Structure 1
């Protein structure tokens, strides 16, 4: 994909003078901040395939300032920061990140280290993206909870100089019910936030205007598709997925390297604000703030045309040259989606699906189409996800015109769910795949001990029954089980006498349901008690999957061993 904007200007604060200008820009930026639109509109380009499924930001404009050439000089600890009014070098000023913003980045890194350790997300990457997307939320203009004091909105993505993304949230996030706009400090478009949004501050809401929510969402977004950000390939793929521009990639990498050399926190609202924008081709504000006065237009209209004769000869060709016949993109040629040999999708709860979904894009003539994007979406009441923990994955068709979705991972919810394949960029019929999650099962049950289970009438058994479940030789964890005291081996109805369990109220029960093995496949039953009936009794344990174990219980009167002792008078001499 080509760059989505015009010529990128590099306005890095490489000198103290430029740094001072950046600080001045912070004050100047407050006026547009009140209106809620800090990104000016300018010319750009739409995506080559006309797609309405874009990167996290919809490839919206971004700040192009580069970091200073000098390395930052961080304070001794994150909690220390230069006093307000204390002169600092350019490196120190640019390295300062508002305290709440920095805290959000570090908390997101900690959460991702636990939930997706293979991603190796550094918080400095979130800081680099936050710098490029919103200037660290306009220098830290957030309240105590991390929510921006006014909305940060990108331009309307109406196809006029930007990609065309029609409204997907009815204006809920961006206030625009016609077109989408990038929202918040990490600049998510509403259609992406709908599935990538996270609750980073634990308030029960997913708010793109909150830095804790937005930073955590950005981390999960960057870590999808099993990318390892400690590798060059993984890092570049993740950044380009956020905004598909080589210039954007290089700008983010520059800030990433800069922040890795050292940063420090500064009070919220005192961070520096970038000035260069990817949608600013002239260095001036491209959006006029007032209607031109008549006096400014009069000279242009009153000046005679010095060469009126040549213009009629060229005007007939102008309309034809301004509306050339567009070259169809690969996406334009796709007429239908077809299954490309997907096998039956089934997995046990907690397991990975062994088969993947394969979908081909085809023309009306049946020819496959390469290099188009297929979106796979998990729908239905399920906790299944794609590998990497996402519900949505976008895959580009290969040279054979086939897109293979990431592997599915079953959750604990059993039953059927749907994976829907749709073409990105054109409205054609989607393709649904049914996937099934079956309960965890065991095929073998065995007691962990060999001690005979005996008890006297009216007493309690000294040992509790413990069993271990396995499936194909491996531990069978979280497998459902039922334990019943039965009448006989050929009569598995519940017994009405003999040993019994007690419920929470101390009442007699002889059937236990809702049992499950633990992580080690073990199941330990509650204590058993005996009534006054003597004899041999049977306890039957069954599991999901058909494993059955019958345990023998004996209730007998205590044996009188006193007669077995020889009498004191009984001696050889007597």
Structure 2
């Protein structure tokens, strides 16, 4: 597999220490609120959440990230061996070989599948740096899978989001709450629909950098975002982790990598030092657990300092030494709107049907309600196209998350019918709460046409045992528009009343040259046109019928004439001849 991705592994790199004066100069040059650590790395302060109106959920669940900022010197190595090992910060500036390859492959894949997104691999590198320190400095095997899992802190509401377990611990080894997983730190519920197979091994593994990088690219490119647009870029980054500080940190690394970077051997990348704020479970992604090469490691919380003993209360007073104070009732957190949702109700169109390739005219909608049937606003509802189908929401995604309006209604984006026909299920669930899912059923029918016309006007004639001079071409339309990719059937029938295949007269030929009088598996092109194969005739003469039918009911019947050559030519004027004379008796 290593050869497949063209990895170039080099010997480990050693680093030196910056002079104290240089570090001081770097620190002095920072903007307010930015500091440097002992290795000359910059860091930002702890994040304060900023809810984006455009990001309704996050890939990482707003889990911990790393606030270290790029070094101030050039991103390209200038001294040493050329691999970044001979200059201070070389491993900080460089990207491990396998990790860099994964980012570039993801960019190439998205360039083909979603060219309008304009995803730069440097954005994936910036997010990978902030989320996990480039897979803990490139500690991955030859297949791109991290050596040990990279797990974020437990999302139990203590400093981070409160996300109960959604994967039974399959990805994050935690059956009580979710944790962000892998080098791009996906939470399991997001990976379930966003996961991709980036290294073509048949699996979608959040711990594999090729899979995770491709999944991150698709996640950033959803909603038809064009990442060359600053507003779209901001929305995409905030959808990964909804924090202004996170956005600013990613942007600093993005610009750093755009200025230039280089490849370093796997396992030699530097590790981030400064995690963002949150609870005390420092796990994976560049903390002490990441440095010792294992999976996630939970650092123990510092022991609390013993409090000073209070003075005994005096009976009957509320002052120290006075006693008798009435204890305050414990504070309770009011339920969120999501907590009050009891069930889902259909609030949109029913029995939607669309032809393959078309956009459904109606939209699916769901209403969130309490047990008493009261609508609940400001709830995240997820619509998921399930099963083996190529039907998607507009933009090519199979998942869309919508926040309910003041009437408790969430309307899904428009659905685009795929080429696979039949019934498609769109499942609605509540994000962050376990309630019975609501399934919507829609139907995709085959592409069809309601009209057929021949493009030529020449009479279709032939002599016995000959071939017709012109190949028949037809055009299919639907409601006046071109009907492309429509299935067509052509049959040489016995009569208008008996549409079974004829056993004499004109015929087509199969691949072996044998006569056939019924053709299937025909299809119109992008312009709705279809040119039939050449027609031949046997020795039968007369008028014959060719019936052309399309999916959707369009029908065209054409006359074919087979006549002897003498019958098909105009009679000519007789030539003059001399009548023979009768000899006279005298001559005889």
Mapped to 2, the partners of 1:291 and 1:236 lie a distance apart of: 35
Mapped to 1, the partners of 2:72 and 2:447 lie a distance apart of: 58
Among 220, 226, 232, which residue is 2:224 paired with?
226
- For 1:264, the equivalent position in structure 2 comes to 262
Change (3 A) 1:291 1:246: closer
1:503-551 per-position Cα deviation (integer Å, ceiling 9, x unaligned): 3344332112232212221222223222211111111000012211112
**Aligned runs of 1:363-378 on 2, under 5 Å?**
363-364=370-371, 366-378=373-385
Alignment pair present for 1:519 and 2:526: yes
Change (3 A) 1:558 1:249: same
8 A contact 2:312–2:323 mirrored in 1: no
Deviation of residue 346 (structure 1)?
2.1
Mapped to 2, the partners of 1:15 and 1:289 lie a distance apart of: 21
Among 48, 53, 62, which residue is 2:65 paired with?
62
Which has the higher Rg, Structure 1 or Structure 2? 2
Mapped to 2, the partners of 1:536 and 1:315 lie a distance apart of: 114
Instruction: Give the secondary-structure state (helix, strand or coil) at the position aligned to 2:500.
Output: strand
**Aligned runs of 1:208-287 on 2, under 5 Å?**
208-279=206-277
Q: Output the TM-score relative to the length of structure 2.
A: 0.78
**Aligned-residue CA RMSD in angstroms?**
3.9
- For 2:398, the equivalent position in structure 1 comes to 391
8 A contact 1:14–1:67 mirrored in 2: no
- For 2:19, the equivalent position in structure 1 comes to none
Higher helix proportion: 1
Mapped to 2, the partners of 1:343 and 1:277 lie a distance apart of: 48
Alignment pair present for 1:328 and 2:335: yes
- For 2:560, the equivalent position in structure 1 comes to 553
Deviation of residue 408 (structure 1)?
0.8
Change (3 A) 1:514 1:304: closer
Mapped to 1, the partners of 2:571 and 2:147 lie a distance apart of: 92
Among 399, 421, 425, which residue is 2:428 paired with?
421
Mapped to 1, the partners of 2:324 and 2:446 lie a distance apart of: 73
- For 1:461, the equivalent position in structure 2 comes to 468
Instruction: Give the secondary-structure state (helix, strand or coil) at the position aligned to 1:355.
Output: coil
1:35-62 per-position Cα deviation (integer Å, ceiling 9, x unaligned): xxxxxxxx999999xxxx9621222211
Alignment pair present for 1:18 and 2:40: yes
- For 1:540, the equivalent position in structure 2 comes to 547
1:7-42 per-position Cα deviation (integer Å, ceiling 9, x unaligned): xxx9978477334x99xxxxxxxxxxxxxxxxxxxx
Structure 1, 211-220 or 523-532: larger mean CA deviation: 523-532
8 A contact 2:91–2:264 mirrored in 1: no
Mapped to 2, the partners of 1:133 and 1:162 lie a distance apart of: 15
Q: Output the TM-score relative to the length of structure 1.
A: 0.80
Deviation of residue 277 (structure 1)?
0.6
Instruction: Give the secondary-structure state (helix, strand or coil) at the position aligned to 1:541.
Output: strand
- For 1:36, the equivalent position in structure 2 comes to none
Mapped to 1, the partners of 2:206 and 2:362 lie a distance apart of: 35
- Where structure 2 has 5 or more consecutive residues not aligned to the other structure, the ranges are 1-31, 290-296, 314-318, 579-588
Among 345, 353, 356, which residue is 1:346 paired with?
353
Deviation of residue 218 (structure 1)?
0.4
- For 1:105, the equivalent position in structure 2 comes to 103
**Aligned runs of 1:137-156 on 2, under 5 Å?**
137-156=135-154
Mapped to 2, the partners of 1:487 and 1:245 lie a distance apart of: 74
8 A contact 2:49–2:243 mirrored in 1: no
Deviation of residue 175 (structure 1)?
3.3
- Quick one: higher RCO (CA 8 Å, sep 6+), 1 or 2? 1
8 A contact 2:50–2:242 mirrored in 1: no
Mapped to 2, the partners of 1:239 and 1:314 lie a distance apart of: 55
Change (3 A) 1:47 1:368: farther
